[in-house]
Amino acid sequence: MTMDFIDLPPMLDATGQVRLPGSKSISNRTLLLAALAEGRTEIRDLLASDDVERMLDALRTLGVSWAREGDSDHYRVDGVAGPFPVKAADLFLGNAGTAFRPLTAALALSGGEYRLTGVARMHERPIGDLVDGLRQVGANVRYLGVEGFPPLHILPAAIRPGGMLRVRGDVSSQFLTALLMALPLTGTQTTIEVVGELISKPYISITLDLMARFGVEVQREGWTRFTVPGGARYRSPGTLFVEGDASSASYFLAAGAIGGGPVRVEGVGRSSIQGDVRFAEALAELGARVDIGDNWIEARAPESGRLKAFDLDLNHIPDAAMTLAVAALFADGPCTLRNIASWRVKETDRIAAMAKELRKVGAAVEEGADFLRVTPPAKLVPAAIDTYDDHRMAMCFSLVSLGGCRVRINEPKCVNKTFPTYFECFASITRPVPVIAIDGPSASGKGTVAARVAAALGYHYLDSGSLYRLVALAARRAELSLDDEPALAALAACLPARFSAARVMLDDEDVTDAIRSETCSVGASRVAALPAVRAALLGRQHDYRRAPGLVAEGRDMGSIVFPDATVKIFLTATVEARAQRRYKQLMEKGMGASMESLLKDLHERDARDAARTVAPLKKLPDAVLLDTTKVDVEQAVGFVLDRVRS
Ligand SMILES: Nc1ncnc2c1ncn2[C@@H]1O[C@H](COP(=O)(O)OP(=O)(O)O)[C@@H](O)[C@H]1O
Ligand SMILES: Nc1ccn([C@@H]2O[C@H](COP(=O)(O)OP(=O)(O)O)[C@@H](O)[C@H]2O)c(=O)n1
């Protein structure tokens, strides 16, 4: 199976505005409450994502009628005013905890027979505490696989009216949420006593707030006793607006704090009911400048430019806290995230996953049962980040690109769980380090033009041909055959080459002139036709992309190495003009040459560059053609600069 990935280039900065997708927590709670309520509920700005799809599918299967307005985010749900009318169903709920837990509770009290399954990871996420709670009121819930975990088999049962039940609150607050939302189905007063310290309290606040909007007021004594009144019935509030997702906001606010900013998110603010808006406070403790309005939050980098090291208890913002673990890479010292044990039972074991991936980009990480300690590296290291089918891993690690470091995110589609357009939104507030790609045949003037354009703009400069020349030279020194692709690729992967000022060094030898020899030219053209050699040189070429920008010249700069280049030029000239230039160049260097053999060589190299199967030389549609046969260097440079500035 091939791995899907997205490569994020190093970014210059982050500024702009993002309209947030709807909150996952509010979307799925609202859908369930609207389904159980009496009357029709119009839901505005519902989140469009996998987890919400799972809930919508399940509700339809359970006999709830709902409709979407065109392809908008507006939905209409006709409530069934009590337990679900469909009394037998099999439901697949993916990895959606916000669908699985509350539906388990509501179905256990619906007097039917149901089977609830999910993806493999869902079957590893504990649900025993919820089942234990439900059994206390007489529900008949059985495990189809491992005791304490989904999948579940729910059977009709006589629910015992009234009374008291106990549920653990220290593994997942979703168990309490699920019970609270389902209990009005019994019609009798029930008190839930929370055993153990309740975690993620703000999520319970969301539940209580939404239940109240649907007409059920839960009485709460601290965070230990919750009483659902007798005769409570859900009634549609009419129209309900879903707030933007406060956890999703965290990535953009962190981007503003790391990448300069200001970055503004719209859809959450001061009046939000989501606990994760308090991520903004945490960010402020790191020194970021944060402003909050009723329906927006904005973040900018600290005055000093660098985030401060932190040591924080993050139990109240477990999801957004992941963003802080990656923000720690940009802090001025070691950072500690405490009281985050619930990470271990989320989409993946997030403590282990976070530690492993942070180490890949160079951080030193210490991990414990309920904490992480992250020491930022002096310099970030480009890496391919695994995402563990966890949307938040993918979104968090996009921030690495703001550290002037490219990053690959494997299996990025996991963001569909809560934020299908995440990478588009991230692109809309970030500016990649610009690349000007100049490709063309030998002696068309690429090197000359590229170096002058780079100097004019203050950009870095990559002469990619010199890398192939270096491989050819190093191969000859190592007495490798130019057909031995694996050996040449291994050589290319760890080429001990350095570029300092205008000199090219191989180990400690100055090879600036040596790589320009006729043998190296021919050798370069031959090794360049080997796919493994090209692949081995890719990372090295990407490393040249550094602020404030790069001018890269070669054969495949715009097509393969930097396909997202800002400006792409295809520089060419007739083969006669090019031969003449090369002749003149060699004469000036005091090296002998014959016009005839130069022409022959150019013809051969053009043919080989154009005919090879990997990265063949050709002008692509998105490149601008610049024929320099009758254009001098000055004019050619002017042409490219005009393109850059327009
Ligand atoms: N537009 C041009 N008109 C005339 N001579 C040029 C032009 N562009 C480059 N040259 C000269 O041609 C020679 C080869 O250019 P170079 O930059 O080394 O080409 P490439 O990198 O494409 O192989 C150099 O001596 C350079 O000064
Ligand atoms: N991006 C690149 C750059 C060079 N090359 C190869 O490397 C050889 C040497 O490149 P160069 O740019 O130094 O050569 P000249 O154009 O200066 O002759 C070329 O003949 C190409 O075959 C490539 O395949 N891809």
Residue 539 corresponds to which tokens in the numbers above?
A: 């990372």
ipTM: 0.95
Residues 384-400 have a mean pLDDT of 97
pLDDT digits (tens, 9 = 90+) for 188-211: 999 999 999 999 999 999 999 999
Task: Give me the catalytic one of 276, 319, 386, 439.
Answer: 319
- Average pLDDT (431-437) is 98
The CATH number of whichever domain residue 53 belongs to comes to 3.65.10.10
- The residue among 241, 257, 291 that closes a domain is 241
Give the ligand at the shortest distance from the Cα of 638. 1
pLDDT digits (tens, 9 = 90+) for 515-558: 988 889 889 989 999 999 999 999 999 999 999 999 999 999 99
**Which of 438, 442, 448, when mutated, tests ligand 1's pocket best, judged by the most ligand atoms within 8 Å of its CB?**
448
Token pair listed for 81: 């005013």
Q: Which two tokens stand for residue 254?
A: 């962190």
| Higher pLDDT, residue 410 or 620 | 410
For residue 151, cis peptide bond before it (omega within 30 degrees of 0): yes
Q: Which atom of ligand 1 is nearest to the CA of 571?
A: 22
DSSP class of 411: S
Distance 438 CA to ligand 1 centre (A): 13
pLDDT of 570: 96
As a whole number, mean pLDDT of residues 626-646 equals: 95
Question: Which is the closest atom of ligand 1 to the Cα of 585?
Answer: 25
Residues 419 and 447 in one domain: no
Number of domains in the chain: 4
Task: For the beta carbon of residue 627, count every other beta carbon within 10 angstroms.
Answer: 15
Residues 571 and 503 in one domain: no
pLDDT, mean over the chain: 95
**Residue 428 marked ligand-binding:** no
Q: What is the reported pLDDT for 171?
A: 86
Tell me, yes or no, whether 229 and 278 share the same domain: no
Determine the Cα–Cα distance for residues 103 and 32; give it in Å rounded to an integer: 8
Which residue ranges have their beta carbon within 6 Å of ligand 1? 440, 442-448, 581, 585, 628, 631-633, 636
Tens digit of pLDDT for each residue in 31-51?
A: 999 999 999 999 999 999 999
CATH number at residue 452: 3.40.50.300
Q: Which atom of ligand 2 is nearest to the CA of 541?
A: 1
| 256 and 152 both lie in a single domain | no
Interatomic CA distance for residues 442 and 575, integer angstroms: 9
231 by Cβ neighbours in 10 Å (0-12 / 13-18 / 19+) ranks as: exposed
Does 2 score more than 80 pLDDT?
no
- Comparing CA positions, the residue from 125, 247, 240 lying closest to residue 174 is 125
CA of 448 to the centre of ligand 1 (A): 6
In DSSP terms, 239 is beta-bridged to 42
Report how far ligand 1's centroid is from the alpha carbon of 428 (Å): 38
Give me ligand 1 centre to Cα 445, in Å: 3
pLDDT band of residue 616 (cuts 50, 70, 90) is: confident
Name, in order, each residue with C-beta under 8 angstroms of 478's C-beta and a sequence gap of 6 or more: 491
Same structural domain, 507 and 571 = no
Distances (CA, A) of 236 to 33, 34, 38, 40, 112: 8, 6, 6, 6, 24
Using the atom order of ligand 2, give the atom closest to the CA of residue 440. 16
Same domain, 509 and 569: no
Does 174 carry a binding-site annotation? yes
Query: Is the pLDDT reported for residue 295 higher than 90?
Result: yes
Q: 409 and 506 share a domain?
A: no
At 415-426, the pLDDT tens digits run 999 999 999 999
Q: Minimum mean pLDDT among 78-92, 110-124, 268-282, 600-614: which range?
A: 600-614
Q: Is 299 a residue whose pLDDT tops 70? A: yes
Q: Do 516 and 373 sit in the same domain of this protein?
A: no
Residue whose pair of structure tokens reads 């006793």 in the numeric block: 225
- The answer to which of 58-72, 92-106, 509-523, 587-601 has the lowest mean pLDDT is 587-601
pLDDT in tens, 148-188: 999 999 999 999 877 899 999 988 899 999 999 999 999 99
480 SS3 class? coil
Is 222 one of the annotated binding-site residues? no
E-strand ranges in 267-325 read 289-292, 296-300, 311-313
Give residue 608's pLDDT band: very low, low, confident or very high (50, 70, 90): confident
Do 72 and 177 fall into the same domain? yes
Give burial (CB, 10 Å; 0-12/13-18/19+) of 378: exposed
If you measure from the C-alpha of residue 581 to the centroid of ligand 1, how many angstroms do you get, rounded to a whole number? Answer: 6
Residues 377 and 447 placed together within one structural domain of the fold = no
Task: Give pTM, 2 decimals.
Answer: 0.89
Of 503, 525, 544, the residue at which a domain comes to its end is 544
Give yes or no: residues 328 and 408 share one domain.
yes
- Of 213, 241, 269, the residue at which a domain comes to its end is 241
Provide residues with CB under 6 Å of ligand 2.
Answer: 442-443, 464-466, 468-469, 521, 524-525, 528, 554-556, 605, 609
pLDDT of residue 447: 94
Residue 633 neighbours by CB distance under 10 Å:
12
319 is catalytic: yes
| pLDDT tens track for 305-329 | 999 999 999 999 999 999 999 999 9
319 is in an annotated binding site: yes
Considering the domain architecture, whether residues 63 and 160 belong to the same structural domain is answered as yes
pLDDT band at 1; cut points 50, 70, 90? low
Looking at per-residue pLDDT, the higher value among 519 and 27 belongs to 27
Ligand 1 atom 3: the closest Cα is on which residue?
632
For residue 94, give its domain range. 24-241
- 134 C-alpha vs ligand 1 centroid, how far in Å? 79
- Residue 272 among known ligand-binding residues: no
> Which of 345-349, 612-616, 622-626: highest mean pLDDT?
622-626
